[in-house]
Each structure stands twice: as C-alpha cells, then as structure tokens.
Structure 1
Amino acid sequence: MSGLDVEPVDETDADEADDHSIEVTPTEAIDDEERATIDVEPSDEPVDGPDYVLYGGKGGVGKTTMAAATALDSARRGVRTLVVSTDPAHSLSDTFEREIGPRPERIDEDAPLFAAEIDPDAALEEGQTVFDAEGGLGGLGGGLGGLGAEAGDLGDAFGGESPMEAMFGGAMPGADEAVAMQTLLEYLDDDRFERVVVDTAPTGHTLRLLQLPEIMDTMMGRLITFRQRLSGMMESFKGMFGGEDADAGADLENLEELRERIERLRAALRDPERTDFRIVMVPEEMSVLESKRLRAQLQEFEIPVGTVVVNRVMEPLADVTDDVEGEFLQPDLDSCAFCQRRWDVQQTALAEAHELFRGTDVRRVPLLADEVRGEEMLGVVAACLR
C-alpha cells in the first residue's frame, strides 16, 4: 500500500440520526450539541455465504470483535445466526454489553441473533457430555460398568484403573477441550441456525480443539466396539444376574450419533463452500509470523483459510468501506511523528501479509479511536468485513 492522503477532520453539527447512528467526538472535547454522527448503511449484498465462519489467531488481535460483528451483520440481513465462543476467557458478553450464557439465547429483538459462551463446567453439571471432568466417560460410565458398577465405581470394575487408561492407554487429553468440542458439535449441527460464527481461543488452544475430532473419532470407534462386546457378554450373564441391560442400546445410539456429528464436522470444516476460516492479525511482523504458522498448521488438518483480517490499520475508515458515512477521528499522519513511525511499521507488515496470503481475501479494519463495544460500533466493523 502507498502513503495516505489524510484530510483534516471538521467538527459538524448532528442533524437527525437513524437507529444505527454512532455519536463520536471527532477532535477535542466539545459540547454535546456539536457532536458528529456516523451512519452505517445497510448492505445490499445477498445473504448467501458459508454455513460456518471461524475466527482464529493470536490472543488479543480482535477475534471476538470480528466474530461478533460478522454475526450481527448476518442476523441483520435475515439469517438466523449463532455466535459462539470456545475461548475459556470469554469476552462476547463484554463486546455485546449484555450477559451471555452457556446455552444459545436470542440477544437481539430486531434480528435473529443468538449467542453462547461454551462453559465446560456447566455442560458437565448438566450432563450434556459423554466425558467427565477427569477425562472419563461421564454418564456412559454406568452402562460400561454393566455388572452393577456405578460411574463412581468404574475403577473397581477395571481392576483399579480408570476406564480411559484401561481401554485407551491413558486419560483423554484436555477434558475441558473435549467437552467444548462436543458442545460445539451440537451447535454446529443445530437446525435452528442457518449460520454459526465461532470465536475461537488463541492459536494453540484452537489447534488442539481442531485436532479433537480425529482423537474423538478414534476413541468413539474403540468405545463402540468395546460397548458392543460388553453388551454381548451381558446377554450371556443376564439370566445369571437376573438383570436387564436396558441402557445398552441407548448408549450405543448416543455414541453413534456423536461419531456421525464428528464426521459431518470434519467434512464441513474441509469444505470451502461451507466453511470460511478467517485468520485475524494486526499489522506487526510478529503477528504476521504467527498467522503464517497458523495457516500451515491448518493446512495439515486440510482446513482452507478463506479470509485474512488485518485489524487496527492506521488508515481512514473511508479508505476501507463506503458503507459508513460521516466524520471519524483518525491518526494524523502529517504532523504526528509517532503516527508516522507506526504507519511505516504497519506498511511493512501489510506488504508481508499481502505477499504471504496472495490469492486469499485480505480485509482491513482501521484502528478506531473508540472501543468497539455494543451493536453500533460492531456495525462499523461489520461494514469493513463485507
């Protein structure tokens, strides 16, 4: 990118603002009567798009903001949209300025927008997962014990070992991530939503999460085989013990259903027509390098990167989108030495990013003077991502 021709900001009076107007202070502190407004124009683009949009990247680059803005824009165009966070350090509630629970709830009266912050502990307490907090088999434990063993007595049934160690040679790695993945599988497969936007955790956690379908699929296959053998054994001993293994069929159905969901998710994530994995970065060399590594690791999972979002670019909003009208506070690249130096750093990083992700859709979001919180400011970011 070349240098920017920056026009000075005028202080203008506000006339009338529609429902999406945003009040900002364009220069120094002034009276309320002299505020400027930014009008976010609705998009005329069609609502067609991927079923799943996942935002990933290094911590602190703005993944939550991008996910929230994308989901809000999608819902405002009539698409029943769920935005869900898998990051243990949730911030969707802060971004939308309202409390968001662990199960999908509608958060916008005027648009079909739903949100959830996955809470593995809550899922375990509600019995929504086949795993327990120690990486065990949760609610399926009783069925696996078979001979009167309850979930808490499985160690005795397996000769003192935990079921996971006995069957799979070790505990399930990352029980909280396994729970998050199973819950996410449920939401991705929920017919109530036409689009699911995922705010993922920082890079390392996200990659472990994406690896879990492979781990869980292998585990499910072994678990189903084991359960079938156990059911056969129970049939032989049913008369001797006088009991019924009534839950055996239900357990197997639950496992088969989970395995099918895993397979569907794996296929969907690898289909660029259905999934857009978007890497978020900031225009700094370290962030560019992190994004390069993330893309390489995603390629190992055969997950294509459809979009790269460069956040906090020091350029006028008008250079990025025509859907936002009005004056907006922006860096002074003519007389501010600090701004000039930062812009030089950003230009170098932007050039590297464009070269690295050649052939990939690269979108920019300007560095905004105001914090992006609430639907009005999210609408500004959404205009940059269209």
Structure 2
Amino acid sequence: MNLYDPLTANLTHYLFFTGKGGVGKTTMATATAVKLADAGKRVMIVSTDPASNLQDVFETKLTNQPQPVPGVAGLDAANFDPIVAAKEYRDRVVAPYRGVLPEAAIQNMSEQLSGSCTVEIASFNEFAKFLTNPTIDQRYDYIIFDTAPTGHALRMLQLPSAWSNYLDHNQEGASCLGQLAGLGKQKATYQKAVETLNNADLTTLMLVTRPQRASLIETKRAAHELAEIGMTNQRLIVNGVLEEPTDAASQTIYGQQQADLRDMPGVLSQLPSAEVPLRAYNVTGLTNIRALLQVQQPTITVQSGQHIAFPSIDRIVTDLIREDKHIVFTMGKGGVGKTTVAVQLAKKLSAHHKTVHLATTDPADHLSLFKIDDPAITVSHIDEQQVLKDYQDDVLAKSRQTMSADDVDYIAEDLRSPCTQDIAVFRAFANVVAQSDSDVVVLDTAPTGHTLLLLNSTENYAKEVKRTTGEVPQAVRDLLPRLQDAKQTEIITVTLPETTPIAESLRLNADLERAKMPHKWWVVNQSMLAVNTTNSILQARAKGEMKWIDQVKAVSNGYYAVEKWQSNYEQVNLTV
C-alpha cells in the first residue's frame, strides 16, 4: 500500500472525507487541504461534523463563513455546527403549529425533529450551498468537506414525497418522519447537489479508516451504503499504521494491524488505497499538519514516566452488586469496545455468584467470538436486521391501506433511518428484559435518550390526538420507568482516550440526561498509557491520553475505570 500524497493522487474538484468517529477524518482533510494550498492551489475546507476539531487543528477561531487560515496562503476554512443548524431548523418547522395543535403534539414534533436524521438534513443544507454556488465553484481549485452525507439522507432527498405536503407526522409508526418539512422551495438546489455528488468526474468520497477490524467493517458499510445511491468514486485512506515495532507491545499491535489489513473486506481491497503511518504527535497546529504527510519525520524524544495505577473495572462490578442493579447497558460509539466490556462485566458478576443474561444487537454478533461456557451466563443475540425488518413490514402493511405509492416509498425510506432502527431494537431489548429470569441483564448497546423521549412523546401524543402514531408494546411501556430508575438500571459509557470518542460520549450522556437515564460509570477502553511499552511512538501516544482520562475522571466525578490496550486475540479469548 502506498503512502498517501494528495499531490500525486489525481483528486477531483470536490472531496468528501468520511468515516466513523475517531478514525482521523478531520486530520486527513486538513492535511490534504494544507498540502494542496502549499502547492499553489486555491482550496476551501468545510466541516459539518458535530465533533469537528477543525478550529483546534488550525488553532484559529472559525465561523460558518469561509475565512483565510493564517499561515496558509490560498486556504479558506469554514466550520458549521449542525447541532445549532438542526435546532434552528426544528424551531422553524414547529413554530407555525404552536398555539394551534395540543402541547403533546408539539412535544411529539419537536422530539421527532431532535434525532440524528434532522442533523443529517441540516448538515446537507450546508453542503448544498457549496455544491451549487457557481461563485464558490469558480473561486477554488479544490473544495474539501469534513464528513460526507449519509446514504439515508441522500435517498430521502431523492424521493418525490420529500417535496410534497405529506410531512407533519407519521401516522403509522414511531420514527423520525418530518425532518424534511418545509424544504419544498429548495428542491432544485438539492437535486443539483445530489447530481454533483454522483458525478465521478467532480466528486470523490475519501473513506478514512483505522487498520483495525471494527473500523474496517464500519468503513465497508459506509462504502456500500453510499455506492447504492451513486457515490461510487471512492478511495480508501488507512490512518495510523504502525511501521517500526521495537518491543513486545508494539510487535503485538503491528501483527494485529497487518492481520486485519490482510483480512480487509473485499469491497475495500478493490478500492484505490493509501496509508498514513502512526505518528507520535497530535495533529494540531500547522507544524504538525505539514509534518503528517511528509516522509521525513521529526525526532521523537520521550522520557519513560512512572507507571500509573488506574482504577479497574472491578470497581464498577463491586458497585453494581452493592447497589443491586438488575439492568446494565454498555453504551458507546462503534469500535470503542462495548462488547468486550459487556463480556468482562458478565464474567465478573458470575464470579460473584450472579446469574447473568448477556445480550447484544451487534449485526456481526461479536459475542459469538468469545469463549463463554459459564452455566451462570445465558447468551442471546438480538438480530438487529430481523427485528428492524419485522417492524418495517408491520408499519408498511398499515401504510399501504391508506396511502399513495409515493407516500409509501417515503415511509419505507424513513424506516431505514437510525431512529427507526433504534426503536425496533429497543422493542427487542424490552422483550429480553421482560422475559429474563437472571439476576442481572447485561445489554451490549443501549438505546439513546432521543429514542426514549421519542417513544414517550409518541405514547403521550396518541392519547390526546385521535389517531395512532404507532403501537407501543406493553413491554416497552413497562420498561421505560425501569430504565429511568437508578435503583435498577446503570448505563456504562465506554469510550477511548481520544478526541472524537470523548466528544461523542459527552453528547450521548447529555442525551441521556434529557431522558433522565442513570449513567454514573465510565470505562476508558484500550488505553496505551496503561500498557508498559518502550516503543517511542507508542510512548508518545500514551502520554497524549492523560488529558482525556483526566477529563473522564472529572465528568464522571471519579466514577471511572481504565482498561489497557488488548489485541483482538486477547479480547475474544477471555475465558468465561
């Protein structure tokens, strides 16, 4: 695999850098922008990532209007906050109905417009401005976007019903329908934007990944989803490849990375690809941005520090037993190690003579990779795709009885949204908890606070307005109060000691605050600082983790644990 060099990559006019949280999208986008600008090109970089650290990378304050980046001639940057944009959008949509519809209806509308679907659309609003503005098009040689729109958002915008008056509420199922309300006037702009995205001569999707199995699997999904709606001009950038193993720890990491890259999903192995080596420094400031893609790297000088004894996951288990918790969720973004932590919790609870029901909704069923032969632990796999299909089929069957074909297509696409998937899985979770005879139910992947509030508002709305907004099963109605009861439930936030995973974990926790869900404990997973290594690059990386661990310690009021880095092999062979 070649080293990534934007100057020899034959790049298109529009570049979208995408990937799951923490893989280095912003790092790759900014390094590309600076290198092209330093080569004499006129470049603009735009970020709509809620977790974007574009301002930190450039060490300058940015707004939603393009402005010159100090120290880089020819480079302009803009940083949009899609969370703020989504709020403004939601307020515009709901405002005409205040004082007209009952308060329960307003609550339902607001919550439907509070999920990730609305953020996707708000982000696309910003993309569309730059994709369709002829002045911007002619001013710059390259326009770089940090984070691409999802396939779901693009499919939504292509549907005829997205531009009809059929919008306000979903009468047949609890999802996030309504996020396109009021967009009819922008139809021509959106159509042009979608056409530009699908034009391989103009646009390239830069898929950023880590050389790790979980990251590669997520990247495969993104590649497939976007290819389905026409974004087929894709390239792969593998970020963070360790080049020179010098001790046992680095040898293990190097071996795992190479094995995972050899086993890369076929669809990714066929893409044009390049790699960026693991660097010892955080990529902030122009000096480090410029150094990132250079072959010659600065000399690393790291003094071995004293080994730090961090609190372990045993603290959490002791607290769960003392508080007699019955429902435990491991929550976090993809790739942070939720399944591994869930298995560890189950193992340790069993060692304390607790019977445990361990369940997951991971489509890859990573639980099947673990050796779990403890009779005190019952393992089940909630088939996420099957429960989602069952829910979709149920809603569509009702829709076809009263709606036009276009409107049914609209609902079918809406039912592919993250919101709908959360709700379908949540119903399956409810059934697991309702039927379990175990002392403790450990669930790998938790519903978000938005999902809980959406279900609540849907149920309340149904009571006041004479039409159904989706059936809420008894198991769900019974479970909601239990999940909000700190005497029974604990949500454990699993994160990594890195910028983006920490930022995303903080947003998820804020979401749970809205839903009044107990979430006391945090696990900082895969910490290099907790590993004894003499490798200079790994030592430097480990040193950079401390500020994130300190932040988790502060946010959690000291209720946290740190788990050291483990290879895939070590994780899946946990003996239970």
Match of 2:141 among 194, 206, 217: 194
Q: Which has the larger radius of gyration?
A: 1
Secondary structure in 1 matching 2:236: strand
Query: 1:137 and 2:93 equivalent?
Result: yes
Query: What RMSD in Å do the two structures reach over aligned CA positions?
Result: 3.6
Q: 2-side partners of 1:382 and 1:185: how far apart?
A: 30
Once the two structures are TM-superposed, the CA of residue 181 in structure 1 deviates from its matched residue by: 1.3
Matched, 1:71 2:18: no
Separation of aligned partners in 2, 1:220 and 1:43: 37
Q: Which residue of 1 aligns with 2:164?
A: 222
Residue aligning to 2:219: 291
- Answer yes or no: is 1:337 the counterpart of 2:248: yes
Q: Structure 1: any 5+ residue segments left out of the alignment?
A: 2-41, 126-130, 139-151, 225-251, 316-330
* Distance in 2, Cα, partners of 1:288 & 1:45: 25
| Structure 1 segment 4-153 matched on structure 2, within 5 A | 49-120=11-82, 123=85, 132-134=89-91, 136-137=92-93, 152-153=95-96
> Match of 2:507?
none
Does structure 1 residue 211 correspond to structure 2 residue 152? yes
Pairwise CA distance, 1:121? 5.8
Aligned residues: percent identity? 25
Q: 1:379 to 1:307 in 2, by over 3 A?
A: same
Which residue identity lines up with residue 298 of structure 1 in the other structure?
A: L
**Cα distance between partner residues in 1 of 2:96 and 2:200:** 46
The answer to which of 283-292 and 214-223 deviates more is: 214-223
SS in 1 for 2:89: coil
User: 279-288 or 116-125, which moves further after superposition?
Assistant: 116-125
Please give the alpha-carbon distance, in whole angstroms, between the structure 2 residues aligned to 1:355 and 1:120. Answer: 33
Q: 1:303 to 1:124 in 2, by over 3 A?
A: closer
Contact 1:307 1:361 in 2 (8 A): yes
**Are the aligned partners of 2:207 and 2:236 in contact in 1 as well (CA < 8 Å)?**
yes
Mapped to 1, the partners of 2:98 and 2:294 lie a distance apart of: 56
C-alpha distance in structure 2 between counterparts of 1:293 and 1:381, whole Å: 27
Could you tell me whether the CA contact under 8 Å between 1:220 and 1:259 is conserved in 2?
no
Displacement of 1:212 in angstroms is 2.6
Distance across 2 between alignment mates of 1:343 and 1:119:
37
Give the TM-score, by structure 2 length: 0.41
Distance (whole Å) between structure 2 residues aligned to residue 118 and residue 172 of structure 1: 18
| Deviations 1:150-201, CA, capped at 9 Å, x for gaps | xx454566899979x99xxx86963333222112211222322332211117
Displacement of 1:106? 1.4
Amino acid at match of 1:194: D
Q: How many residues align?
A: 271
Query: What's the counterpart of residue 352 of structure 1?
Result: 263
Q: Per-residue displacement from partner, 1:212-242 (whole Å, max 9, x unpaired)?
A: 3443454663159xxxxxxxxxxxxxxxxxx
How far residue 63 of structure 1 moved from its aligned partner, in angstroms, is 0.7
Alignment correspondent of 1:364: 275
CA contact (8 A) 1:68 1:378 kept: yes
Alignment of 1:241-260 (within 5 A): 255-256=184-185, 258-260=186-188
CA 1:43–1:290: 2 relative to 1, 3 Å: closer
User: Does the 8 Å contact 1:102/1:122 carry over to 2?
Assistant: no
TM-score, normalised to structure 1, is 0.60
Q: State the distance in 2 between where 1:296 and 1:187 align.
A: 25
Q: Supply the distance in 2 between the matched residues of 1:160 and 1:341 (Cα, whole angstroms).
A: 58
CA contact (8 A) 1:217 1:259 kept: no
CA distance in 2, matches of 1:45, 1:305: 17
Task: Return the letter of the residue paired with 2:41.
Answer: V
**2:352 maps to what in 1?**
none
2:123 aligned to which of 169, 180, 189: 180
